[in-house]
């Protein structure tokens, strides 16, 4: 099974923040951005109701420095570079990612939902151009991609 680089995109970044200082949405975004800074390692993944193998996810890491950019690599090989817009005020929290690196999904928007609990990050994404998932699950033919990440320990 070929993994689509854009599907490993996580979330983050302050792209599109409201201009008003002290705005509740801006504060929520900044709080989530801070909690998401660092490097995250994929510990499990599922697409269309099928679990990916350990070999398929081995070495896949997402790095977010708190700015606009997110980078996903497998080992030293870049899989995805992009920008992310999050909305932690929605239920579930939402993320819109745009791939900026070369590839079949360059410039396309991927709609996702996310959840952060301590050192665990969960993301469920639709294929570019498809509707945002409503829950953290995948079914055969759904086109949804669910990933669970753990924060890398220093």
Task: Name the residue with higher pLDDT: 68 or 14.
Answer: 68
Residue 115 has a pLDDT of 95
105-132, pLDDT tens digit by residue? Answer: 999 999 999 999 999 999 999 999 999 9
70-99, pLDDT tens digit by residue? Answer: 999 999 999 999 998 899 999 999 999 999
Residue 38: which domain range?
A: 5-151
Residue 10 has a pLDDT of 40
Residue 19 has a pLDDT of 47
How many domains does the chain divide into? 1
The CATH number of the domain where 76 resides is what? 2.40.128
Task: Name the residue with higher pLDDT: 48 or 18.
Answer: 48
DSSP track, the chain: -PPPGGGG-----BTT--SSTT-HHHHHHHHHHHHH-EEEEEEEEEETTEEPPHHHHTTEEEEE-SSSEEEEEETTEEEEEEEEEEETTSSSEEEEEEE-SSSTTBT-EEEEEEEEETTEEEEEEPPTTSPPPSSS---TTS--EEEEEEEPP-
24-39, pLDDT tens digit by residue? Answer: 888 999 999 888 889 9
Residue 4 has a pLDDT of 45
Residue 82 has a pLDDT of 93
Distance CA 87, CA 25 (A): 8
Please provide the distance, in angstroms rounded to a whole number, between the alpha carbons at the two ends of the chain.
32
Is residue 1's pLDDT more than 60? Answer: no
130-143, pLDDT tens digit by residue? Answer: 999 999 999 999 99
pTM of the model: 0.83
């Amino acid at each position: 099974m070929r993994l689509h680089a854009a599907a490993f995109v996580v979330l983050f970044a302050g792209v599109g923040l409201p201009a008003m200082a002290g705005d509740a949405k801006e504060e929520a975004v900044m709080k989530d951005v801070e909690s998401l800074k660092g490097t995250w390692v994929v510990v499990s993944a599922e697409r269309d109701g099928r679990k990916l193998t350990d070999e398929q996810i081995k070495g896949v890491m997402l790095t977010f420095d708190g700015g606009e950019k997110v980078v996903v690599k497998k080992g030293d090989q870049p899989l995805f570079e992009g920008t992310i817009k999050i909305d932690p005020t929605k239920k579930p929290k939402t993320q819109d990612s745009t791939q900026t690196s070369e590839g079949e999904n360059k410039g396309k928007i991927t709609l996702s939902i996310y959840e952060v609990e301590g050192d665990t990050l969960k993301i469920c994404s639709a294929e570019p151009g498809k509707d945002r998932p409503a829950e953290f699950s995948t079914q055969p033919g759904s086109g949804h991609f669910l990933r669970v990440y753990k924060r890398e320990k220093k």
